[in-house]
């Protein structure tokens, strides 16, 4: 796992790529690669690549990057892991290719590109973001993995295109503009993150998951989607429940086994839920030594969040792991806030960034360089309590109720003071003929968001909504999905927005902040393709969420963990808002409102004076601190 950067000077531009220019960008991400670094600039100074190395596979000097093929006609800078690299290496050797490294996965991509062109992407099994320069075609390729586990940003400006694993690297370019992308800001208030391909920085974009960019010397950028889960699903309508569950466990075991591959110590995050407990159990199978597991809790008792330490201990004892725990306090959070904003690059309005960073540091401090995490299972198998309710509401939304009655219900909810509530939003969407779910996590409703915007932005965005950001995903779903059900739509929507741009983004930024690689077995693309082939009725059979996964792992992990109530990885934000966190939120948002034209100050204060809206406070605090750090240039002590 690493950090990558680079620049391409467009034809006719006077800009030249230099080593100091690349090094300044590259070394803004030392935390992504403390084990080494490299830079390569083409002889004509039209193209340059940089790399920070976190050594995981093939620790030798031969595996340093940027890396080229034998005749230096193809160059690559690569971030990620290719889990089937040994299999691909054997195939390429049989085709006559010769390797200069012992077993570096990066070199497999180089020779794969020589053999299959950019279609090599279809052969890779792993997580990755890479830039590949073809000197013969004078073409730059930028690719992001199928599920978006690894981020990749780029910016075209002043006669050049720059790219990097993190936005902070792009900002080292003195000519990179720093301004708010107001469209992205509008969507951020709905989704807690900015949907790809936009970022909150005007002019800086991110490659969507499963997509590849081709950039030529003229500055022409061509984007195409090379993977969509619906192109790789085979409906399991004829399989028995037992067959589905048996294959599910087999596919998951393979995904976990592949993610053991490393030349450094590997461990697991462990919460005591079904996903992480299964992960730790399967990971420990066949291991010679004890697997290290890591859990975070909070010092004290809170009504909004209950520690899961007891369940994590049960899972650890059953799997025989070497278990480590850490208790956090509000003092830890307040100290971490500036560093969190710096690492995030743009707001990721999920307070789980805090414990994620802490558990990542706990693992790194205990000698582990790679950890497996459980993201993705709830989205694939309808595992959230809220989703169970939304599935029923979506089914009801399909009833043949005349639109006029739905519109009347919207008016009635307005009359009784429910104008900014989620139920009113769902009814309005239904009345407009739209799905009631746009993302697995949503912040402000359309009316609530309109109230927050400054008069200028309110006027500018009148008549528009954040449905625009998810409509392309909906269109693909309508065209390709073999079974159109609420469960499938919610899973597909999250595979394209919430997972890559919120949940996986927070995992990448927080884990790499301490130079730890995070691997996600539940989002192995083969496992995802299988999961999306399971009929929706089986995923919620008998009203039980996550039904096939529960059945598949029964006997693998203790029943006490399978049958316990669902509890997410959380933070006691509600209680802490009555303490210094609330004071910090008011101070930061006051400064933002006074010095920008994004929010209506009175509406913001109204939200902050409503303690029942703790998550909304976090959304506003994040963007306010981001604005001060990145646009006002106020350095945080990180």
171-176 own/partner pairs: CB under 8 Å, 24+ apart: 171/28, 171/630, 172/24, 172/25, 172/28, 173/21, 173/25, 176/203, 176/204
DSSP output for 414-437:
HHTT-TTSHHHHHHHHHHTT--S-
Of 170, 128, 158, give the one whose Cα is nearest residue 5. 170
Query: Angle, to 10 degrees, between the axis of helix 241-258 and the axis of helix 274-284?
Result: 60
Give the span between the Cα atoms of 121 and 50, in whole angstroms.
22
Q: What are phi and psi of 161, to 5 degrees?
A: -120, 130
| 8 A C-beta contact, residue 165 and residue 51 | no
Q: What are phi and psi of 234, to 5 degrees?
A: -125, 105
β partners of residue 52: 3, 37
| 8 A C-beta contact, residue 138 and residue 317 | no
**Terminal alpha carbon distance of the chain:** 22
Given the residues 2, 211, 245, 353, the one annotated as active site? 2
β partners of residue 466: none
Torsion 271-503-511-59 (CA) sign: positive
Of 119, 121, 114, 117, give the one whose Cα is nearest residue 145. 121
| 8 A C-beta contact, residue 150 and residue 165 | yes
Give the span between the Cα atoms of 378 and 319, in whole angstroms.
22
| 8 A C-beta contact, residue 562 and residue 274 | yes
Q: Is 66 helix (H, G, I), strand (E, B) or coil?
A: coil
b/e 129-142 (16+ beta carbons within 10 angstroms → b): bbbbbbbeeebbbb
DSSP output for 554-596:
BTTB-HHHHSSPP------HHHHTTTHHHHHHHHHHHHHHHH-
| 8 A C-beta contact, residue 414 and residue 424 | yes
Q: Is 266 helix (H, G, I), strand (E, B) or coil?
A: strand
**What is the separation of C-alpha 179 from the centre of its chain, rounded to a whole number of angstroms?**
23
Query: Angle, to 10 degrees, between the axis of helix 601-608 and the axis of helix 614-626?
Result: 130
Q: Which residues contact 96 (CB under 8 A, 6 or more apart)?
A: none
Q: Is 142 helix (H, G, I), strand (E, B) or coil?
A: strand
- Is position 2 annotated as part of the catalytic site? yes
Cis ω for the linkage preceding 250 (within 30 of 0): no
Q: Is 246 helix (H, G, I), strand (E, B) or coil?
A: helix
β partners of residue 49: 6, 40
- Alpha helices (runs of H) in 95-191, residue ranges in sequence order: 105-116, 167-170, 182-191
- Residue 280's H or E segment, with its range, is helix 274-284
Instruction: Give whole-number Cα distances, 454 to 27, 186, 458, 462, 474, in Å.
Output: 38, 11, 6, 12, 30
Q: Which residues are catalytic?
A: 2
């Amino acid at each position: 796992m690493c950090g990558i950067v680079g620049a391409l000077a467009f034809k006719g531009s006077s800009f030249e790529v230099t080593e100091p220019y690349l090094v300044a960008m590259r070394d803004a991400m030392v935390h992504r690669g403390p084990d080494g670094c490299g830079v390569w600039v083409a002889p004509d100074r039209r193209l340059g690549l940089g790399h920070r190395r976190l050594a995981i596979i093939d620790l030798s000097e031969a595996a340093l990057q940027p890396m080229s093929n034998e005749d230096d006609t193809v160059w690559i800078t690569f971030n990620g892991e290719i889990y089937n690299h040994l299999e691909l290496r054997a195939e390429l050797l049989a085709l006559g290719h010769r390797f200069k490294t012992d077993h570096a996965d990066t070199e497999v991509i180089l020779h794969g590109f020589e053999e299959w062109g950019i279609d090599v992407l279809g052969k890779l099994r792993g997580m990755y973001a890479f830039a590949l320069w073809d000197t013969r075609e004078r073409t730059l390729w930028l690719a992001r993995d199928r599920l978006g586990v690894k981020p990749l940003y780029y910016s075209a400006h002043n006669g050049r295109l720059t790219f990097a694993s993190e936005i902070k690297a792009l900002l080292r370019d003195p000519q990179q503009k720093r301004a708010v992308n107001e469209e992205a800001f509008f969507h951020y208030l709905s989704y807690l993150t900015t949907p790809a391909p936009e970022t909150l920085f005007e002019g800086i974009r991110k490659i969507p998951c499963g997509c590849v960019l081709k950039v030529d010397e003229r500055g022409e950028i061509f984007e195409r989607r090379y993977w969509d889960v619906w192109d790789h699903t085979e409906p399991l309508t004829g399989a028995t429940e037992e067959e589905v569950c048996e294959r599910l466990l087999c596919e998951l075991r393979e995904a976990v086994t592949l993610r053991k591959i490393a030349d450094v110590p590997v461990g697991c995050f462990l919460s005591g839920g079904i996903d992480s407990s299964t992960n730790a159990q399967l990971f420990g199978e066949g291991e010679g030594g004890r697997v290290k597991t890591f859990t975070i809790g909070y010092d004290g008792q809170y009504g909004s969040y209950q520690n899961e330490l007891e369940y994590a201990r049960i899972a650890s004892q059953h799997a025989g792991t070497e278990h480590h725990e850490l208790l956090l306090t509000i003092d830890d959070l307040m100290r971490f806030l500036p560093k969190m904003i710096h690492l995030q690059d743009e707001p990721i309005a999920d307070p789980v960034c805090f414990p994620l960073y802490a558990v990542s540091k706990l693992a790194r401090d205990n000698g582990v360089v790679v950890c497996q995490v459980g993201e993705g299972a709830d989205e694939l198998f309808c595992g959230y309590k809220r989703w169970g309710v939304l599935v029923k509401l979506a089914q009801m939304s399909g009833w043949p109720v005349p639109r006029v009655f739905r519109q009347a219900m919207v008016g009635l909810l307005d009359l009784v003071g429910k104008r900014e509530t989620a139920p009113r939003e769902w009814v309005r969407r239904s009345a407009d003929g739209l799905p009631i779910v746009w993302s697995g996590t949503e912040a402000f409703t359309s009316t609530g968001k309109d109230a927050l915007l400054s008069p200028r932005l309110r006027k500018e965005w009148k008549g528009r909504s954040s449905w625009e950001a998810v409509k392309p995903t909906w269109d693909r779903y309508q065209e390709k999905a073999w079974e159109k059900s609420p469960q499938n739509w919610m899973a597909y929507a999250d595979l394209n927005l919430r997972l890559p741009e919120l949940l996986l983004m927070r995992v990448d930024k927080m884990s790499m902040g301490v130079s730890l690689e995070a691997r996600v077995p539940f989002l192995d693309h083969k496992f995802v393709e299988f999961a999306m082939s399971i009929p929706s009725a089986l995923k919620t059979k008998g009203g039980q969420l996550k039904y096939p996964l529960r059945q598949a792992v029964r006997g693998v992990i203790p029943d006490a963990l399978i049958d316990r109530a669902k509890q997410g990885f959380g933070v006691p934000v509600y209680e802490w808002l009555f303490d210094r966190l609330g004071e910090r939120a008011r101070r930061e948002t006051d400064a933002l409102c006074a010095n920008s034209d994004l929010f209506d100050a009175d509406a913001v204060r109204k939200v902050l004076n409503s303690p029942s809206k703790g998550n909304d406070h976090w959304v506003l605090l994040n963007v306010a601190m981001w604005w001060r750090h990145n646009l006002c240039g106020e350095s945080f002590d990180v």
